[in-house]
């Protein structure tokens, strides 16, 4: 009599989806349709990549038509900025038809140190979604986790607009975001790993040693220990191991390629993070972040300071590439 076959584990995508809300990190609408995540996030780099693809030409055309139809009183720069916002909203609107949860849309990263302009652009983005019949409850306004960005998020949350504080690399940023009442934060895992690899020359082959994984675990523990409702959504993954090492985190936003890797793997996937065990994860004191404490903590954290600045520069560069493409189209008659 042959031995009974061992039961095959479900794939890790399915298993992780039972522990954590899965989010797709892409501007590729077709990939989102295929993977069926709960939420989706975009950023300028992802929108630039997607806007260059022929299947999304109609979304670009609509944004250009919107910009051209604006009153003549708009300066060229105002017209371009409004067209860029409309393009981001067009992609977001398509994504809301596919995912049941939140869609994150990012404010121009070049405004990361300007609270008032960030607020103006965020309100306009929400207004554009409203024009398309999409409730603000479906949208997370994505803002870099500078002090000014966190204060803008605080004001938006008080207006009933939900926010996603991104480019987050430190507990100081996470504490300030929670105290501001942000709906969600996006702590970056892979970019933290990148910095420490470069700084130390170590490979950090094991996810348990990965400084990015450790950072998100610390933030998750802090939030659960002190009862903050702000959602922790790990982001910026370099490999599948970083993802599985955070199983149980509130949300994880993952690129289509890594989501496919999870689908193809049938290894067991245990829960790692649990709200009820948060005190053991974070053993430090409760912190408070006013502006002086925040700036000093960031100054003391070379990694967080470097990666925040680098991230803003990178998003700004991709915005400028996309602007060049859109400005050319706006100039056509």
With tokens 């996937």, the residue in question is: 269
pLDDT recorded at residue 21: 97
Q: What is the DSSP string of 252-316?
A: EEE-HHHHHHHHH--S-------GGGHHHH--S------HHHHHHHHHH-HHHHHHHHHHHHHHH
CB 41 within 8 A of CB 24: yes
* pLDDT tens digits, 206-264: 999 999 999 999 999 999 999 999 999 999 999 999 999 999 999 999 999 999 999 99
Confidence of residue 9 (pLDDT cuts 50, 70, 90): confident
With tokens 């829960």, the residue in question is: 271
pLDDT recorded at residue 279: 84
Higher-pLDDT residue of 1 and 128 is 128
CA dihedral 117, 157, 309, 286 (to 10 degrees): 140
pLDDT at 53 over 70: yes
Q: What percent of the chain has a predicted confidence (pLDDT) above 70? A: 97
* pLDDT tens digits, 267-295: 999 999 999 998 888 989 999 999 999 99
pLDDT recorded at residue 71: 97
The residue ranges of every structural domain in the chain are 12-330
Residue 236 DSSP SS3: coil
Full-model pTM = 0.95
Q: Which helix (H) or strand (E) holds 122?
A: helix 115-131
Q: Which fold has domain 12-330?
A: TIM Barrel (3.20.20)
pLDDT recorded at residue 2: 54
Is 328 labeled as catalytic in the residue annotation? Answer: no
In angstroms, the CA 168 to CA 164 distance is: 10
pLDDT recorded at residue 62: 97
How far is the CA of 216 from the CAs of 77, 83, 191, 331, in angstroms? 39, 35, 12, 45
Q: Where are the beta strands (DSSP E) in 146-256?
A: 163-168, 184-187, 231-234, 251-254
In angstroms, the CA 17 to CA 322 distance is: 34
Q: What is the mean pLDDT of the chain?
A: 95
pLDDT at 123 over 60: yes
* Catalytic one of 115, 136, 142, 224: 142
Q: What is the DSSP string of 9-73?
A: PPPHHHHHHHHSEEEEE-S-HHHHHHH--SEEE--HHHHHHHHTSGGGHHHHHHHHHHHHTS-TT
pLDDT at 33 over 80: yes
Q: Which residues pair with 234 in a beta bridge?
A: 252
Mean local confidence (pLDDT), 73-96:
97
Mean local confidence (pLDDT), 2-14:
73
């Amino acid at each position: 009599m042959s031995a009974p076959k061992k039961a095959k584990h479900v794939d890790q995508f399915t298993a992780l989806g039972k522990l954590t809300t899965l989010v797709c990190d892409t501007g590729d609408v077709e990939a989102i349709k295929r993977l069926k995540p709960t939420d989706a996030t975009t950023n300028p780099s992802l929108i630039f990549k997607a806007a260059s693809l022929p299947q999304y030409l109609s979304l670009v055309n609509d944004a250009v038509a919107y910009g051209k139809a604006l009153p003549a009183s708009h300066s060229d720069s105002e017209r371009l900025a409004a067209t860029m916002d409309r393009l981001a909203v067009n992609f977001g609107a398509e994504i809301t038809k596919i995912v049941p949860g939140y869609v994150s849309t990012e404010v121009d990263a070049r405004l990361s140190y300007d609270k008032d302009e960030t607020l103006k652009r965020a309100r306009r983005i929400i207004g554009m979604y409203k024009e398309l019949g999409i409730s603000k409850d479906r949208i997370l306004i994505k803002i870099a986790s500078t002090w000014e960005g966190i204060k803008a998020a605080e004001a938006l949350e008080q207006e009933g607009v939900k926010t996603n504080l991104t480019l987050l690399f430190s507990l100081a940023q996470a504490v300030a975001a929670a105290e501001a009442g942000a709906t969600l934060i996006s702590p970056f895992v892979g970019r933290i790993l990148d910095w420490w690899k470069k700084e130390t020359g170590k490979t950090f082959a094991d996810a348990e040693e990965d400084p990015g994984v450790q950072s998100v675990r610390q933030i998750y523990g802090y939030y659960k220990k002190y009862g903050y409702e702000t959602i922790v959504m790990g982001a910026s993954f370099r490999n599948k191991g970083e993802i599985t090492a955070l199983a149980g985190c509130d949300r994880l936003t993952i690129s289509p390629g890594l989501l496919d890797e999870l689908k193809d793997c049938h290894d067991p996937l245990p829960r790692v993070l649990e709200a009820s065990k948060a005190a053991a994860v974070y053993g430090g004191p409760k912190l408070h972040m006013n502006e002086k404490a925040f700036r000093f903590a960031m100054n003391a954290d070379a990694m967080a300071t470097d990666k925040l600045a680098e991230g803003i520069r990178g998003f700004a560069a991709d915005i400028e590439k996309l602007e060049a493409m859109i400005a050319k189209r706006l100039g056509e008659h």
